[in-house]
Structure 1
């Protein structure tokens, strides 16, 4: 099979296309013939920083395709099943930038029959992160769906990004009012296409004042991509007992929190990374994401606010560079014909 690998960390030039033997699934694993693979910021960040003890790494956490082999002791999956992956390269040498990948069943989710492989390969990191970001402030069942966020107002920073897009769609599916911040009119249009009720250009005017005009009592929940630069704004616009969910470090590595302001509102700060997330939370996210996809509440494409950019497998380096350079939309590797 063809696979993209790197044997040392560094720029995208360390990525090479090679031929490798077809892997066989072990107990509790399935092999997937991949049709699409998603490219996320975490892919280029891993490539530049760590090998995790492996001699050779195939990048890629997300992908979609068809199960073509099943290992011993596997239940719930069979040859021919359409599926998507999450955390495919976590703790393993080989992810989804390849024609086949072998995955434990806990990292594999069924893809509803009418959902595209483009959508399936776009779910993993963005949708599961968005799910956790929207549910982390709850006491009780951490689930999304119609009515789950009714009466709540959610502020989503960076609504034109992949996680922001998924968060908008999942929040609207759950009946929240969604406000998002963006950096241009083009991105505002994408956020509205995703379902945002209000899109605010944070480069013009008093962003906090504009948010509070829309939500005079404050917002219930913030999904934050750039906490180092936005924490003061977030605290200002959050309600008492609100939650600030932080999933990235865009804009700086260090965050200074005004303690008295945070204390006075009894705020909750929740930091999010998928790689150490409890398995039960991952499973709950997978179930809710499946349900959202099944009813058409999660989509990709220009009309869903997430333009799709296709790259051939041999163009993986270019896809990594595009994502690193701030590509607006979703980068996908075309690995096989649908």
Structure 2
């Protein structure tokens, strides 16, 4: 089978197209014929900075069809359309290959109405978004329709992959969604994702506009740039709010201490790979339910334009993500 592998860390050209044996699923595993592989920032960062222990296949997310199962997995799962999460976390086998084996729980049923493109776009972005929306005091632990009713959510960077997923999941859960963007093009994408209010922070006084929309403050902030936005977040949060940050734009963040203390704001870091297992289970179940409800989409109409590459150009796909392509970067592994 064809696979992308690398043996040392470094730039995209350390990766190469190679031939590998088709793997056999072990105990509790399934084998998936991969259709589409999704690329996330952590994929190129892992390749750039982490030394692989063996021939490493990149990419955490993907979609495809189960074509074999290992001992302990029902044969009924053969032929099932699935989306994959964390395929390469702590393992040498990511989704940039024609077949991948992984624990059965990491291959989640994908309804017929959901495309393989959508399946490959879930994983890290949607599970991260779910975690940011469920760390507030009082929960909910798992999103569902109405779970965030009466809450106001501020999504920083609503045109990004996690921001897009957060908007769609928060809207599905009944929240009022505000998002900040850096220009009209991204604003249109955030609206397409379902944000009720879009604030262009380069053209508007973001704090004043958010306070006008939500005079009592926002309950949850989904934050992509905590260092740059700390003062803004502190200015717009409601009492007992949470600022859930899932990326870093600096090694340090200067949290406005007194404003945060006065209203009991919590600053919560989120790394999806290391969240508690029960939180991961809640996230997978909720994302699967949102997909089943048709509440999550991809493509321009859903605010997440797609950028496609063939398997042989996985390096170009990684570079596109590193260069902050607007939308979702996908690799077509099989027709």
Q: Does 1:332 align with 2:330?
A: yes
Query: Paired residue for 1:43?
Result: 43
SS state at 1:135 partner? coil
Query: Paired residue for 1:184?
Result: 183
Query: Residue by residue, what CA displacement relative to the aligned partner does 1:31-60 show, whole Å, maximum 9, x if unpaired?
Result: 0000001001110000111035x1221100
Cα distance in 2, alignment partners of residues 132 and 65 from structure 1:
25
Using the TM superposition, name which of 77-86 and 122-131 deviates more: 77-86
Query: Paired residue for 1:26?
Result: 26
Query: Paired residue for 2:6?
Result: 6
* 1:76/1:312 CA distance change after superposition, 3 Å: same
Equivalent residues in 2 for 1:102-251, closer than 5 Å: 102-139=101-138, 141-249=140-248, 251=249
**TM-score by structure 1 length?**
0.97
Q: In the alignment, is the contact (CA less than 8 A) between 1:51 and 1:57 conserved in 2?
A: no
Cα distance in 1, alignment partners of residues 115 and 75 from structure 2:
21
- CA offset at residue 269 of structure 1? 1.6
* 1:76/1:41 CA distance change after superposition, 3 Å: farther
Q: In the alignment, is the contact (CA less than 8 A) between 2:4 and 2:314 conserved in 1?
A: yes
Query: Residue by residue, what CA displacement relative to the aligned partner does 1:270-304 show, whole Å, maximum 9, x if unpaired?
Result: 11111111111111111111111111100001000
Equivalent pairs, count: 335
**Residue segments in structure 1 that go unaligned for 5+ positions in a row:** none
Cα distance in 1, alignment partners of residues 329 and 59 from structure 2:
12
Q: In the alignment, is the contact (CA less than 8 A) between 2:3 and 2:98 conserved in 1?
A: yes
**Residue segments in structure 2 that go unaligned for 5+ positions in a row:** none
Q: In the alignment, is the contact (CA less than 8 A) between 2:220 and 2:242 conserved in 1?
A: yes
Equivalent residues in 2 for 1:257-336, closer than 5 Å: 257-336=255-334
SS state at 1:300 partner? coil
Cα RMSD between the aligned structures?
A: 1.1
Cα distance in 2, alignment partners of residues 181 and 313 from structure 1:
34
- CA offset at residue 139 of structure 1? 2.6
SS state at 1:221 partner? strand
Query: Residue by residue, what CA displacement relative to the aligned partner does 1:70-107 show, whole Å, maximum 9, x if unpaired?
Result: 00012596110110111110010110011011111222
Query: Paired residue for 1:15?
Result: 15
Cα distance in 1, alignment partners of residues 76 and 275 from structure 2:
24
**TM-score by structure 2 length?**
0.98
Moved over 2 A (4+): 138-141
Cα distance in 2, alignment partners of residues 311 and 140 from structure 1:
39
Cα distance in 1, alignment partners of residues 234 and 160 from structure 2:
22
- CA offset at residue 263 of structure 1? 0.9
